[in-house]
Amino acid sequence: MSGGKSVFLDVDSTILEKRLLMEDNDDDFDFLNPSSEKDVCPWKLVTPKPGLCVKTRNLSTGEKVFINVCTTGGIPDPEDISEAALVQILSSDDPTTFRVPMSINEPYEHPDKSGKPSTVYDVAISTNFFTKMNSSDIFRPFVIQVIMDGLQSKYDISLESEEYSVLKNRKAMGALRPHRVQQREVDSRAREPLIQEVYPPVRSPAPAPCREPRYSLVRSSRCLLADFRVDDVVSSRDLTLDVGEDRIILEGKKAGYLLDIFVPYCLDQDKTSARFNTDTKTLHVKMPIVSRSQQNT
């Protein structure tokens, strides 16, 4: 879906940048001294869930850029206002009275559908606010525009912010990273930043050696059927399955299983179903295939 600037978004870019409720931290996080002045405010790691994925490009390099707008309950909601109130605020003398709390992670590289390198940014917002903005033709383009302006300001890049698209069959590009969010009391009247961005990126401990489960893939007329044999898994609760547009990731941390494969089909992740047979220790997955006419260009 293409996105363009609507009338209510045609405002000075500096106004949009000020609406980002986040904090730039140009100092390295001190892992050796967690009680240092740089980390006075308590924080916690939150792992967001996929929301939507915006595809655009870097105007300087021509490289594809993907923005994962993800959700978490660890970030506070902005002020609850109506669409009409948002339009009125943007037209007022002080449009910065409405701000969107968000957390921006460090960029990382991930191949696009054709295998070419692209840059991915994870931006987390409140789960409740995402639900509200994603169903609104006014809030959704507004928030996407604010996020793009924030990325351009923070990383000194130039993004195509008018001719972008929201992927129809993929909610996230790559694996979402944890966010380090400061725990501060939210004051809607406060002017100082309330959200701590991840800077530098949080590094997880090196994973233990993993093994691939035995598996088979069979295409029927409209679906891709997969069987994954995981002999050392007791319950489906010990498995994590992530089906993307053309990628399947299966992980069983306790048993040491990890499978990450690409498939030559466009999969409908929203309609994918899975069933774990405890007798045969096999995970059966049914993934509908999206026809070419339905694919997002």
Does 224 lie in the same domain as 169?
Answer: no
90 within domain boundaries: yes
Domain, as residue range, for 231: 214-294
Tell whether 66 is covered by a domain.
yes
Over residues 13-30, the pLDDT tens digits come to 433 443 444 433 333 322
C-alpha dihedral sign at 35, 37, 38, 44:
positive
State whether 113 and 177 are in the same domain. Answer: yes
Q: Residue 273's pLDDT band (boundaries 50, 70, 90)? A: very high
The secondary structure of 200-249 as a DSSP string is: SPPPPPPPPP-BPPEEEEEE-SSEEEEEEE-TT--SGGG-EEEE-SSEEE
Q: Are residues 16 and 131 in the same domain?
A: yes
**In angstroms, rounded to a whole number, what is the distance separating the alpha carbons of residues 108 and 119?**
6
Asked which of 130, 165, 182 is the last residue of a domain, the reply is 182
Domain for residue 153, yes or no?
yes
Whether residue 9 is found in the same domain as residue 137: yes
- Which tokens in the block code for residue 206? 């090196």
Judge if 47 and 156 occupy the same domain: yes
Determine if the pTM surpasses 0.85.
Answer: no
| Domain end position, chosen among 165, 182, 199 | 182
Mark whether 110 and 236 lie in a shared domain.
no
Q: Give the model's confidence band at 71: pLDDT under 50 very low, under 70 low, under 90 confident, else very high.
A: very high
Higher-scoring residue by pLDDT: 250, 46: 250
Which tens digits make up the pLDDT trace of 207-255?
Answer: 456 788 999 988 887 899 999 999 999 888 899 998 888 889 899 888 8
For residue 103, being part of any structural domain is answered with: yes
User: Would you state the structure tokens that stand for residue 213, as one six-digit string?
Assistant: 């489960």
∠ CA 233-235-237, rounded to 5°: 110
In this structure, the number of other CB atoms found within 10 A of the CB of residue 278 comes to 10
> Which amino acid is residue 11, in one-letter code?
V
CATH number reported for the structural domain that contains residue 226 in this entry: 2.60.40.790
- Which among 160, 182, 204 is the end of a domain? 182
148 and 270 in a single domain? The answer is no
Residue 78 maps to a domain: yes
Strands 2-3 and 282-288: unpaired
Same domain, 43 and 148: yes
Total domain count, the chain? 2
SS3 assignment, position 51: strand
What count of residues does the chain have?
297
Q: Tokens 């690409």 — which residue?
A: 262
Same domain, 176 and 220: no
187 domain-assigned: no
Is residue 133 domain-shared with residue 241, that is, in the same domain? no
| Strands ordered across the beta sheet of 282-288 | 214-219, 223-229, 282-288, 273-277
Compute the distance between CA of residue 101 and CA of residue 80 in angstroms, rounded to an integer: 12
The answer to whether residue 189 sits within a structural domain is no
On whether residue 208 sits in a domain, the answer given is no
Identify whether residues 73 and 175 lie together within a single domain: yes
Q: Are residues 112 and 15 in the same domain?
A: yes
